[in-house]
Amino acid sequence: QADGFPSTSYELSPDGKTLVKWLGEESVIDMTTDPMFGQVTTIGDEAFAFNGTFTYIKLSDNVTAIGTSAFNLSTALETIVLPESLVNIGEKAFRKCSSMKSIALPANLKTIGKMAFENCEKLESITIPNSVTTLEFMAFADCSGMKSVVLSSGIREWGENTFSYCTSLESVTIPDGITFIPIATFQNCYALETVTLPYTLKRIGENAFADMYHDYDNIKKVTCRSLTPPQVNGVWSVHQQNADLYVPGRGIDAYRNNAEWGLFGSIQSYDGEQPYDSDFEVNADSVIAQLQRNMVRVQGGSFMMGTDDDQEEGSHVERPAHQVTLSSFLISKYEVTQDLWKAIMGDNPSETKGSGLPVESVSWQDCQQFIEQLNARTGLHYRLPTEAEWEYIARGGNGGIPSAQTT
């Protein structure tokens, strides 16, 4: 065929949308140069598998899926160019592609299948785009040359042993947004020295960072930004006492008193953050009971939210004024006080101390953790007021705020 590959080099499905099998012996394959591949959206199962001939492949621009074992044991493959249209990489898709040193994953990718890059021993680094929500079992296991990993903050389905036996990996940072790390995720990564964990982390699976076969431990520093110690079970090796743990200053006591986290050799605040003073004692049950008594019901209604164009005050984002209707809701008569914060969180981060003063020097993320723990303790459903609710109250509500109710 003119300006393309011989028809004997490949097999397409009857509708032309799937590359079923590559049959040729070309060392360089650029599917974008052949009009026959213009309709291909899927690289079929084992389409390029067990091939030791080609070194370079560029997939056609419309490919959205790479099938099971599509490039499995393509031992000569050094470079593959993936299209931006790619959404799914299938199970064992690039398993044992032993010559591949790097691969750029496209920004629209959603799923990386089981053992997709297992035993790609020369793969040096990987950046998983934030579009990826599913990272399956052993996806990058046994990538012994892997030195750098950048993870997606959007991962919601995360399989076990994802990076186990990546024995050249020296450091790893788990991005904010991740709430759990599965079992054995970084198990037997012998060179791992530093680990940074996000404020959103709630749980770490068993042996996630442990070295199971050596009597030494290279992990020297772990930084966990979560105010509350995440649930763990045998995460670190038996030499955990040789490593330093860095946590938020106001969470130090919680980590020191935790059966698992307390085993680190030293526990201190990170980035120079100092532990907060205890400053005053709190009767937690009494303070929480007072919060419930301070709740008042605001009668729902409609009001004009924002400001008109002819008014000088107000930002452009508040224009034009528009009608908003709210249902009735409960809200505290007072801001969250320092004694209430301390009753729930166990610390008082405020710079100006006073049990009845509003808490300050806290972030939005801190507030979310406060609400989560308050709800867990009371069995109720507290939350921050919406912008509309806040403005409605500031304008006087529907005829003013009625007397307190505790329902």
- Write out pLDDT tens, residues 169-204: 999 999 988 999 999 999 999 899 999 999 889 999
Type and span of the H or E element at 304 = strand 301-305
Stretch 36-49: mean pLDDT? 96
Between residues 280 and 284, the one the model is more confident about: 284
Residue 343 has pLDDT above 70, yes or no: yes
Predicted TM-score of the model (pTM) = 0.73
Per the structure block, which two tokens stand in for 40?
């291909």
Question: In DSSP terms, which residues pair with 267 in a beta bridge?
Answer: 245
Q: Are the beta carbons of 349 and 361 closer than 8 angstroms? A: yes
* pLDDT (0 to 100) of residue 2: 43
Can you give 133-178 as a three-state secondary structure string?
CEECCCCCCCCCCCCEEECCCCCCEECCCCCCCCCCCCEEECCCCC
- Write out pLDDT tens, residues 60-111: 999 999 999 999 999 999 999 999 999 999 999 999 999 999 999 999 999 9
* pLDDT (0 to 100) of residue 407: 32
Give the whole-angstrom CA distance, residue 294 versus residue 49.
Answer: 68
Give the whole-angstrom CA distance, residue 126 versus residue 134.
Answer: 16
- Phi and psi of 28, rounded to 5°? -125, 125
Q: Which amino acid is at 97?
A: C
Residues 6+ apart with CB under 8 A from 299: 328, 397, 398, 399, 402
* pLDDT (0 to 100) of residue 227: 83
* pLDDT (0 to 100) of residue 353: 81
**Residue closest to 158 by CA, chosen among 129, 191, 180, 187:** 180
Q: Are the beta carbons of 3 and 34 closer than 8 angstroms? A: yes
Stretch 267-272: mean pLDDT? 81
**Residue closest to 83 by CA, chosen among 57, 114, 101, 102:** 57
Per the structure block, which two tokens stand in for 237?
């090796």
Give the whole-angstrom CA distance, residue 40 versus residue 31.
Answer: 9
Positive or negative torsion for Cα 48, 54, 55, 56: negative
- What percent of the chain has pLDDT above 70? 90
Query: b/e for 150-185, b at 16 or more Cβ within 10 A?
Result: ebbebbeebbbbbbbbbbbbeebebbebbebbbbbb
Q: What is the CA radius of gyration of the chain?
A: 28
Q: Which of 68-72, 151-155, 184-188, 350-354 has the lowest mean pLDDT?
A: 350-354
Residue 394 has pLDDT above 50, yes or no: yes
Give the whole-angstrom CA distance, residue 41 versus residue 63.
Answer: 4
